[in-house]
Structure 1
């Protein structure tokens, strides 16, 4: 029975060097292959033109070189580009390029589907098929970066893990992807320009602190008391607000990294001045730099709507009056279901 071929991108440089030495080739060949994989983004061994044909054939016999590919692309009126990517076995995930004058941001996915079932998020109504491997997460960034250069003549400036899935439930792959994205022999992007967003898995937030990560962290809060948060985010039942406050303080003590709170406003649910007061109380217990107040983007399965402008304005003014650094984040890409909470692999 033939041995299953290994994904060559899952080998470290030392492991590749050991392989080449074992087969009687020069050690420097490993570095050439590593560059093709991570810096030149080769999707086949044949593309590795500074290797002999014999060596390329040998690699093809022993390894696979799978990669994400574009499945569909949609362009929003506001310049946002949503892409649906296909894995080698046909799973679909989505990523978004969000352009502004100052930034070009990639919003990437970490899982095929999601297991957390947040009520306001379209991905939460999908089954979680599997975690994405770190090379597949890396591919999303590479492909969205290519889009940014083609459409706007600029490389990506920022990456947010706010696409499909819960990044902290795919912990090892997310951290390995960020390591490759920020490595000099990868994409060379500063981890300070990367934000990982979590629905709130307290144990894993603490692990981020223990691992002394260098990227920013965002908590999807969306309600500032446990009763309301339980209603819209089942994860809160095992990771309540007190546990998250403690975990975020631990994370900050260990890393000193920037923390943001994300808060979507839902009409007649979490948009009153009483809700704002509860948010202030939570904010004061966390070393957070910023509260992002987010417009709700409607999805078919969830019957909430967004509040009117006067309610939003009153909410923002209350936060400002109480010295909360808050920013109202207007949605991008709503017309192509690319905005916050809308990713669900819909047919375009």
Structure 2
């Protein structure tokens, strides 16, 4: 059985001609799949029953469904989404006064094993297909309109998985989301976050992408990064710095550095100095300092406010544009690094 949503309109038109159906049927099918979001071929009520039966013999629609939702006291909504094959991923709707942000997943589990991330303790089962990522965004957009009467304003690929290790589907999903047939969202309102896959960062440059890029840095030296992010052993800071400069030269797109503060690990003045050195080598416009959110399997702790303030003051004094990103949805384990669906 083939995924009907992977069949482009020209291919649908050819298929209709082959089975003796008029060309306009292809457009009807395409509209059911991408505009009416049919969950089943039998939902396509303006198609003849005989055509629906022919389609059902070869194709299916792998719809993503909300299995369970949790509601935070701060308005954040976390959803466990069930995929057609029984696997689960999580996605989060994050409302603020100015933005409605969808945090979406790109893989079932993750293969990178970052020591501070709940998803990193899961095994990677598979990549999400592009249409499943689009479903995530569509469902969150519907929730946003239902609960807040606002459409999504931003999308961040900061959920489960490493989007650059699902490169093709991530880019194809963004292409659909930004198209007039999708949400019509500007690529500048989409941020793809990576733990640091240098080769694929360069590929983003070659592909002239227009969305924003965030690097999950979290430690300012190779020695410390190796301790918490095994990917650094094959993608060290020099390789990442070179790749980010290549990406920026090719695209001019915005780059942000993400940095979670861990008590007595990466929060000293020396760490701040090392971070300044890294920042000066990268055409990044912002360092996001992120609150650490405890998870069951990790031994890290959150530094106190005084330590955080001193760290940020050092960056500011050295002309680093820095912002503290407060966690949202902590009471429902929906904050940064806490996504860990039921593993299938």
TM-score, normalising length: structure 1 = 0.97
2:281 pairs with 1:288: no
Stretch moving more, 14-23 or 227-236? 14-23
Task: List aligned pairs for 1:250-261, cutoff 5 A.
Answer: 250-261=246-257
Distance in structure 1 (CA, Å) of the matches to 2:153 and 2:76? 15
Dislocated runs of 4+, deviation >4 Å: none
> 1:346 Cα shift?
5.2
The residue that corresponds to 1:103 in the other structure is 99
> 1:71 Cα shift?
0.9
Distance in structure 2 (CA, Å) of the matches to 1:175 and 1:40? 23
Distance in structure 2 (CA, Å) of the matches to 1:346 and 1:318? 41
Task: List aligned pairs for 1:155-304, cutoff 5 A.
Answer: 155-304=151-300
The residue that corresponds to 2:46 in the other structure is 50
Distance in structure 2 (CA, Å) of the matches to 1:285 and 1:171? 26
2:73 pairs with 1:77: yes
> 1:299 Cα shift?
0.5
> 1:149 Cα shift?
0.6
Alpha-carbon displacement from aligned partner over 1:274-327 (angstroms, at most 9, x marks no partner): 111111111111111111000000001111101000001111111111111111
> 1:56 Cα shift?
2.2
Alpha-carbon displacement from aligned partner over 1:45-64 (angstroms, at most 9, x marks no partner): 22223322332222222211
Distance in structure 1 (CA, Å) of the matches to 2:10 and 2:215? 36
The residue that corresponds to 2:118 in the other structure is 122
Contact 1:290–1:324 (CA under 8 A) maintained in structure 2: yes
SS in 1 for 2:142: helix
Q: 1:64 aligns with which of 56, 60, 68?
A: 60
TM-score, normalising length: structure 2 = 0.98
Distance in structure 2 (CA, Å) of the matches to 1:50 and 1:214? 38
> 1:329 Cα shift?
0.2
SS in 1 for 2:30: helix
Distance in structure 1 (CA, Å) of the matches to 2:24 and 2:209? 31
Stretch moving more, 180-189 or 222-231? 180-189
Aligned residues: 343
Unaligned runs of 5+ in 2: none
2:331 pairs with 1:335: yes
Distance in structure 2 (CA, Å) of the matches to 1:300 and 1:234? 20
Contact 2:215–2:257 (CA under 8 A) maintained in structure 1: yes
SS in 2 for 1:263: strand
Q: RMSD of the alignment, in Å?
A: 1.1
Distance in structure 1 (CA, Å) of the matches to 2:342 and 2:9? 39
Stretch moving more, 22-31 or 6-15? 22-31
